[in-house]
């Protein structure tokens, strides 16, 4: 059972995250950039696994859901912030130098993603044997995002612990897409 309206947006956001192909030159030459790129790939794979479970493209398994949610939680928030130290931004990395110029905004967004991922991991820790309606995005949930970049007023005030797991994933993907659009440059 798909939740419908927001699913297309969620899958587009996931496609944007997965289409980011980091520069192999950067990965080979800078261990910080290589570790960051590996972490981003792992986050994208975890998000894809969860999205596919909600979409019915992958069998839902509570243990796999928990592992993927824990992977997202472990790589966001403070862990994500530490992956972008000064001196590792700009070419050959895909990380824009603007991260340092707008460090408070970047860190607030990383912490917000971390809070969402932490709530998702907590829900996954008590995952039922099957995806139920209580895990799905409901018709009454706002579909215009929870990004700190201004998509919805008071988004930072929402309590992630009260949100269904699917909605948390949707907001995580939306925040990741917002962060990438603001702080990532495409490499040729």
Residues 27-59 have pLDDT tens digits of: 446 899 999 999 999 999 999 999 999 999 999
CA pair distance 170, 46, nearest whole angstrom? 13
Which pTM was predicted?
Answer: 0.81
- The crossing angle, in degrees rounded to 10, of helices 103-125 and 165-183 is 160
DSSP letter assigned to residue 184: B
**For residue 77, pLDDT beyond 70:** yes
Question: Yes or no: is domain 5-183 CATH 3.20.20.70?
Answer: no
Cis peptide, bond prior to residue 72, ω within 30 of zero: no
Mean pLDDT of the chain: 83
* Residue 140: predicted pLDDT: 53
- 13 token code pair: 């956001």
**For residue 101, pLDDT beyond 50:** yes
- 130 token code pair: 């099957």
- 112 token code pair: 């917000």
Ranking 26-30, 41-45, 139-143, 149-153 by mean pLDDT, the lowest is 149-153
Task: Name every residue whose Cβ is closer than 8 Å to that of residue 71 and which is 6 or more positions away in sequence.
Answer: 42, 43, 45, 46
């Amino acid at each position: 059972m798909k939740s419908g309206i927001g699913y297309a947006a969620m899958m587009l956001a996931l496609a944007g995250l997965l289409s980011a192909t980091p520069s192999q030159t950067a990965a080979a030459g800078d261990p910080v950039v290589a570790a960051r790129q590996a972490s981003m790939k792992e986050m994208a794979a975890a998000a894809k696994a969860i999205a596919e479970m909600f979409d019915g493209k992958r069998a839902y398994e509570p243990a796999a859901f928990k592992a993927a949610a824990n992977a997202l939680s472990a790589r966001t928030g403070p862990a994500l912030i530490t992956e972008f130290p000064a001196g590792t931004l700009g070419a050959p990395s895909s990380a824009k130098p603007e991260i340092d110029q707008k460090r408070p905004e970047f860190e607030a967004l990383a912490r917000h993603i971390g809070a969402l991922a932490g709530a998702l991991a907590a829900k996954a820790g008590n995952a039922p044997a099957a995806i139920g309606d209580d895990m799905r995005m409901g018709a009454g949930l706002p579909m215009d995002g929870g990004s700190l970049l201004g998509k919805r007023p008071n988004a930072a005030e929402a309590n992630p612990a009260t949100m269904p797991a699917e909605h948390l994933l949707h907001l995580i993907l939306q925040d990741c897409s917002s962060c990438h659009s603001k702080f990532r440059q495409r490499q040729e």
